[in-house]
Amino acid sequence: MRSPMRSRDPNATDRRRAGAIAALAGLLLPLAALRAAALPEPAVALGLGRYYTAPKGGLSGADVVPPAAAYRSGAALGRAAPTNQWYSSVMFGRWSYPIMAHPMSYRTSEAGFELGLPAKRFAVIAGTERRELAYPHVAAVTIAPLGFRPRDSRLSGFSDWLAEISLAAGDGKTLKATVLHGSPFAYFECSSGDVRFHLAERPVVLADPTAKGLDPRVASFTVAGRSYAIFAPQGARWDWSRPTDLVLRLPGDRRYFSVAGLPDASAATRADFLAVAYAFPTETRVAWRYDEQAHVVRTTFRVSTVAREGGNRTTFMGLYPHQWSSVVPARQARYRYESVRGQIRLIAANSFVTERAFHGLLPSWAGLENPGSRVALASLLRQDLADADRLVPADGRGTYWFGKSLGALAQLLAVAETEGETAMRDRLLQLLQDRLESWFDGRHAGYFVADARLGTFVAIPQEYNSILAMNDHHFHYGYWLQAAAQVALRDPAWAAADHWGGMVGRLAADIANDDRGRRDVPFLRNFDAYEGHSWASGIAQLEDGNNQESSSEAVNAWSGLALWGAATGNRRLRDLGVYLYTTEVASAEQYWFDPDRQVLAPEFGKPFASMVFGGKYAYGTWWTDEPRQVLGINVLPITPASTYLGANPAYLRALVGALPDETRAYRDRGRSDGTAPDIWQDVIACYLALADADAGLARWDRQGSVEAGETRSHTLYWLSSLAEMGRPDFSVTADTAFYAVFKDQSAARTYLAYNPGSAPLRVSFSTGKVIEVAPRSLARGR
C-alpha cells in the first residue's frame, strides 16, 4: 500500500484509500493536538530523545499496536519478523496469501502447498480508468502430506531472498517447503508418511515414473499448458492410479523431493533440471560494495546449497531484467520464463555479480546566477518563510503528513542558504529542529514506540495502517531522514548520538538495517534485495502479492539515508543508502517506466505502470485514476535526488505531452470527482524541466496549486536552476558520492560537488575536470 496525500489547494479532491487493507487509522487532529500529552512511563531515554516500549494510551492510540506475527516457528522466532516482504503474509494468518516468487507462485491452504507457473491476464477495471496486467497465482499442483493433517502454515526460516514455510500438525510432523526468488524449483521435506500431488486438471503425461524403462525418480506432466516435474529420491515409490493424483512414498532415510516449473516439455530440459534438482538451497545472501573511485555499485548474489543426492551443488538462478542488464561478466541464459517482471533468465550457478554506475547525490544545488531569477526567488522566499509555520496540513497528524512538511521545510532551507539568505536559513533550521524534536522528545501526542514482539519502531498516531498493517514505513521515514540530514549538515552537534541522532538512527534502522539476525528490526525491512525494489505492505495480505505504488518516495528514502550517513560520518550507512538508491532507481526505470519495453505488455496500452504488485502491474492509484496524479505519485517529492527521472528526455516529454489529452478524456467520462483543475501542476512542471527547462517554466503557474510537499520558492528555484545549467548529464561520473553534472544546449557543462567532511576534498570527474571543495560546502565548476 502507500499513503494517500492531498494537495494544499482548497479545491483539491480527497485522496481515497482502496484495496484489501481499507481501514483508516485513527481520527485526524489538528497540529495543536501533537503537543497535548504528558510523559508517562515506560519511556526509554535515547540521547536527548525518548521513545516508549508500549503506547501511552488515550486518544493517541493505545489500541493501535503492530500485528502479531503469530505464524512463525523454528529459527524465524529468534529474529524480528520480516514484514514488507514478498512472503510476509505467511506470518499473519493461518494460511497465506499468494506468494509471488517469479517465475513460480505459491500459496498455503487447508488443501496443502499450492504451486504453479502463472500465465498472463489483462483487464480494464469496469467503471474506472484502471488497467491491470496480471500473472495471477495458479494452483496447478497442490502438495499435501497423507500421514498427518497440518493445522496451519508458518514461516520457519528465511534469508535474503529465501523463505522456509512449514505446514505442521502440532505434534512435530511437518511438510517443509523452501522457496526463493528467481528459482523454478521448490524444495520439500516431509517428516513422515506419504505425499500426495493433486493436479488441477487431467494432465498430459510427459514422464511416468511407474513406467518400465523410465527414471523412477522423475514424474513430469503438463497442466493448463504449463509443464512441471517432481524429482524424488532414490528408493521412492509412486502410485499414479488416479490421473489427477500422484502419491509419493518416500523411503525412511530420504524424506525429501523437489518440484519445478519447466520452461518447456522436452526430455532434454527435464534432464537438465534433474541434474540440479537435489542441490537444496540453505541460505541466500546479498552483498554490496560502493566503489567510490570507480563510481560503481557492485552487488553479489550467492546461494548456498547442500547436495541431498549425488555430489552436485550447483543450482539454477533466475535473473530479473534489471539484473540481466547489469550482470558482469555477461552470461548466456540456459532457459527463459515469461513473467510479470518480463523475462526471467536462468543460469546454472550459485552466484553472480551486477555492476551499476552511481551518478551521485547532492543535498542541494548552487545559487542562481540570473539576476532576474534571483529577484523573483527572493520575493517568493519571503512569502514562504511567512507561511512556514503553517506547512503542516490541518488534516494530517502522523509521520507521513508531518514528514511531507519536514521535506518541504528541508528543501526550502537549502534554497534559502544557496541564495545567501542566512537569516532566513537560520530561522528555517531552527523551525526544522523544533519540528523534529517535538516528536523525538516523547512529550507530545506524536511519539515513537519500539515494539519488541514484532521488531519495529513505529510512530503514534499511525497513518494509513502504518502500525496495524506495518504499511509505508519507508515512505514516511524517508522524509524525516531527508530533513534530519539537512539539519546534520549544518549542526553536527544536533545529530550526535547523545543528542538527537539516536532517534534518527532508530528510524533509519527500522526501514534499512543491514545487520541480519537482530530482534529489534529485520534486515532491510522494506527492500527486496533480489527483485531490486521496495514493498509497501507490511502484512502482504493481497491476492496479487505485495505492492508498491510510489517508486519515487522509496528513492527519496534511500537518498535521505545516504545523506544522513554522510552528514554523521557513518560511511557504512552512506554506502547502504547508495546501494539502495542505485538499485531502486534501476528497478523503477525497468518495472514502473520501462522505456525499452522489456516488461510492459503491448496490450497494457499505457506508457508506464504506476502500481507494481508481486503478481500484476496497474495504471491507477489507491485513491484516483486521474492521470496527473497517476504520473505524479511516481515523481514526487522533487529533490536533488530526482534527477534520475531525466535519464530519458524523449520518453519524459512524451509522458507529459500526453497528459492534456488523457486528463480531458478522464473529465469527459465524468471521472473528475472534484479534482482541482491544476492539481500537482508544480510537480509536473519540475518533472518536465528535467528534459526541457523552458517548457517546465512555461507550464508552471506560480499562482496555481501547490503540492503538499512543495513550496513555490523551491519550484521556482528548481526550474530556474535547470534553465541555467541544462539537463542532467549521466555520461559523466566522479570519484565522490556527492556530485551532479548538467549540460546545456551549447554543450557547456556545470559540475557540482558537495563535501560533507571536515577536511578539504578534491573531486575528479571522468571528463578530467577537477574541483576543490571546502569542508561542508558545495562547489560549482564549468
Q: Cα dihedral angle (387, 393, 397, 399), rounded to 10 degrees?
A: -80
> In sequence order, what are the beta bridge partners of 112?
109
Query: Which residue, chain included where needed, has cell 484502471?
Result: 130
Provide the strand spans (E) within 324-446.
327-328, 335-339, 342-348, 351-357
d(CA 90, CA 101) in angstroms, rounded, equals 13
How much is the pLDDT for 675? Answer: 84
DSSP state of 68: P
Q: What is the pLDDT of residues 443-474, one digit of tens each?
A: 998 999 999 999 999 999 999 999 999 999 99
pLDDT at position 64: 84
User: In the prediction, which pLDDT does 63 show?
Assistant: 60
Distance in angstroms (rounded) separating the CA atoms of residues 405 and 422: 21
Nine-digit cell at 431?
523551525
Amino acid at 183: S
pLDDT < 70 positions in the chain: 1-41, 58-63, 127-129, 393-396, 672-673
Cell numbers of 598, please? 522489456
Nearest partner of 541 among 452, 469, 634, 608, judged by Cα: 469
pLDDT in tens, 378-398: 999 999 999 998 887 655 589
The pLDDT of residue 389 is: 86
Q: Between the CA of residue 716 and those of 218, 290, 418, 635, what are the distances in Å? A: 67, 34, 13, 17
Q: How far apart are CA 133 and CA 459, in angstroms?
A: 35
Which residues are the active-site residues?
472, 549, 553
pLDDT at res. 127: 67
Q: In a 3-state reduction of DSSP, which class is residue 122?
A: strand
First-to-last C-alpha distance (Å) of the chain: 44
Model pLDDT, residue 665: 86
- Report the candidate in 31, 42, 159 with the shortest Cα–Cα distance to residue 516: 159
pTM of the model: 0.94
Task: Name the region of 627 (left: φ>0; alpha: ψ -120 to 50; beta: rest).
Answer: alpha
Dihedral (Cα; 105, 108, 110, 114), 10-degree rounding? 30
State whether residue 714 is helix, strand or coil.
Answer: helix
Coil, helix or strand for 498?
helix
Q: Which amino acid is at 3?
A: S
Question: What confidence score (pLDDT) does residue 362 get?
Answer: 98
Neighbouring C-beta atoms of residue 311, cutoff 10 Å = 7
pLDDT at 394: 56
